[in-house]
Structure 1
Amino acid sequence: MTKFNFDRPPGDDAAVDMLAECQRQLLPLIREIVQAAVAAGWSEEDVLLGFVDLAWDLYEKRRDDLQ
């Protein structure tokens, strides 16, 4: 199982720090999933768009939960 280490909140430049940390930890995992899907015959574009849709759905659900 992959271990993630989000041990502290982002610093003063929160948006840049958060983006860099998410990319550092999540990009290898996402690349691995996409490569496995492509090897199984899936469209790389469709898989990547699926990630975008999933992330957006999670974002929207979080917004709904806050209201």
Structure 2
Amino acid sequence: MVEFNFDGPPVGDAAADLSSECQRQLLPIVQETVRAAVAAGWNQKDALLALVEVAWDLYETHREDL
């Protein structure tokens, strides 16, 4: 099971790589979610697409807050 132990966002010179660091920290969560979906009988591509759609919907919903 994946734990949600995020490090704080990078600061200083490392802040330029904010997206990469966020992706690095989210990757295990996404991988575990897809693994669980596949184990339950989902097609891997469908599970990944569903995650993309959920993320996009969240982005669209909160875009004005950003």
| Same-fold status (TM-score > 0.5) | yes
Cα 1:52–1:10 shift into 2, 3 Å = farther
When normalised by structure 1's length, the TM-score is 0.74
- 4+ long deviations beyond 6 Å: none
* Alignment CA distance shift 1:51-1:63 (3 Å): same
Greater RCO structure (CA 8 Å; 6+ sep): 2
The number of equivalent residue pairs is 64
* Amino-acid identity (%): 52
Following superposition of structure 1 onto structure 2, how do residues 3-42 of structure 1 map, counting pairs within 5 Å?
A: 3-9=5-11, 11=13, 14=16, 17-42=17-42
After TM superposition, the score normalised by the length of structure 2 is 0.75
Give, in whole Å, the separation in 1 of the partners of 2:27 and 2:53.
Answer: 16
Unpaired runs of 5+ residues, structure 2, are none
Cα displacement (A) at 1:62? 1.2
